[in-house]
Amino acid sequence: MRPTYLEVNLSRLKQNLENIRTKVAPAKVMTVLKANAYGHGIDGVAPYIAPYADYIGVALAEEGIHLREIGIDKPILVMGGTLPEQVPVFIQYDLTLAVSSPELLDAAEEAAQAARTKLKVHLKIDTGMERTGVHEYEAGPFLEKSLSCSHLGIEGIFSHFANSEMPDLIHAKLQLERFNDVLSFYEKRSVPHPPIRHLANSGAVLQLPESYFDMVRPGVMFYGVYPGREVKRTVEVKPALTWRSRVAYSKVTQPGRPVSYGSLWQPQSPARIVTIPCGYADGYFRRMTNRAQVIVNGKKYPQVGRICMDQFMVNVGDDDAKVGDEVVLFGEGITAEDLAEWAGTNEYEAMTSISARVPRVFVQ
């Protein structure tokens, strides 16, 4: 019933995935559904897109558990940091563990042995992100140790780019070189079935085809947003998200009558000010105050006055706007890049910060 909601175009997500798959073939595609499907709504996106994905990536064990509980049976890799005491959950819910240290490798082997089962793992190598994973120059003993873990299925090995979306790919190519050096371990040991190799995120899908290996992990581009304004757009993707609302109040404000908290803005002449029932508790950042724009009845207008927790105001000037008129906050001419610029952040935060209290409506 809320007039503020997100409209998610599932067909567009599927088309984005198909375009990515065509680009990277024969590599498989891991669809990244972490952070509530980048704000799009996991409960609607996952059941629709899972049949078309080879693998699913999430950040937290809880995200993987939720996917299992809503009926998703595709392989799920939990890529974020995991504590040893969490490992039994991976066995219980058939989740794939990203092993980022020798200690976690030991904990995984012990848990799988105690459960009398085999746990699927992907080995995480740090080639230059300095976040999680075993450094590439220490990877040899780590990989050797993994081969002796009889209760672990070493299904994959991966790393993560820090700068693949940049025009200057020097650091990304250095990471690729380091990853290739690590992978030579399997050739030197004549391992009959080496693990699935994956490295390419969205930027690398677009700019580094030599990094595709056996599987790629598109995140933001799957949702139709490019990872940076300067990245080469070698795959066509389109945004799947439209953030809609309606005018909740409309009145003419006179000069000398400041709008909202802090009295940061007032009209220079009589102006129609409309109130939109959405605010920073919904993820419409307070720091966009007096910078953002919205579309009212098909025309762009400036947001004015301090953005409140649950509402914000828009100056439509001399134009008419009445209660119930349609408003677009994002989409149809307002891009994720626009929101990011107004908020002083990136497109990722702009999308993933949209609150769970904003209803998601899924369309095809």
Q: Which of 360, 240, 236, 259 is nearest to 316 (CA)?
A: 259
d(CA 223, CA 226): 9
Is residue 34 part of the annotated active site? The answer reads: yes
Q: Which of 130, 134, 129 is nearest to 182 (CA)?
A: 134
d(CA 247, CA 320): 12
Cβ neighbours of 153 (radius 10 Å): 15
User: E-assigned strands of 217-264?
Assistant: 241-246, 249-253
d(CA 331, CA 1): 21
CB under 8 Å to 343, separation ≥6 — which residues? 285, 287, 288, 349, 350
Question: Which residues lie across from 76 on neighbouring strands?
Answer: 56
DSSP 8-state code for residue 113 = H
d(CA 65, CA 212): 28
Indicate which residue of 137, 145, 232, 261 is catalytic.
Answer: 261
Indicate which residue of 34, 120, 124, 226 is catalytic.
Answer: 34
Cβ neighbours of 270 (radius 10 Å): 12
Do residues 197 and 181 touch, judged by C-beta distance below 8 A?
no
Burial class (CB in 10 A: 0-12, 13-18, 19+), 278: buried
Angle at 341 between CA 340 and CA 345, to 5 degrees: 50
133-137 LR contacts (CB < 8 Å, sep 24+): 133/100, 133/159, 133/160, 134/100, 134/101, 134/102, 136/178, 136/179, 136/181, 136/182
Is residue 55 part of the annotated active site? The answer reads: no
DSSP 8-state code for residue 268 = S
> Which sequence positions are flagged as catalytic?
34, 261
